[in-house]
């Protein structure tokens, strides 16, 4: 299942696809930053914390949200 959602509707634990990428990421933290939101994400197919990275998005960016079961 795929839905296009506003960046402000993303929660911890959501699996999303960032703009200009095809690989899904798991959101582990959401916080406000200057001029938008900062997501801490990791690959949805890996449990390695070393792969965590911050991603800055504005509230205007629309993301693709996928179900937790990656087979969807």
Of the options 2.30.30.30, 3.30.160.270, 3.40.50.150, 3.10.520.10, the CATH number for the domain spanning 2-66: 2.30.30.30
The string of pLDDT tens digits covering residues 12-65 is 999 988 877 888 899 999 988 777 788 899 988 876 666 889 988 775 666 666
Cα distance between residue 32 and residue 24, in whole Å: 22
Q: What residue ranges do the domains of the chain occupy? A: 2-66
Top pLDDT among 12 and 7 is at 12
Distance CA 45, CA 56 (A): 21
Distance of CA 3 to the CA centre of its chain: 13
pLDDT value at residue 23: 85
Separation of alpha carbons 24 and 36, rounded Å: 21
Q: Break the chain down into helix, strand, coil percent, rounded to 5.
A: 10, 50, 40
Higher pLDDT pick, 53 / 69: 53
Q: Is the pTM of this model over 0.75?
A: no
């Amino acid at each position: 299942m795929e839905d296009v959602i506003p960046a402000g509707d993303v929660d911890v634990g959501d699996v999303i696809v960032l703009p200009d990428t095809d690989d899904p990421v798991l959101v582990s933290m959401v916080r406000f930053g200057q001029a938008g939101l900062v997501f801490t994400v990791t690959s949805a197919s890996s449990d390695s914390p070393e792969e965590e990275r911050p991603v800055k998005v504005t509230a205007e960016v629309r993301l693709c949200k996928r179900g937790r079961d990656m087979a969807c």
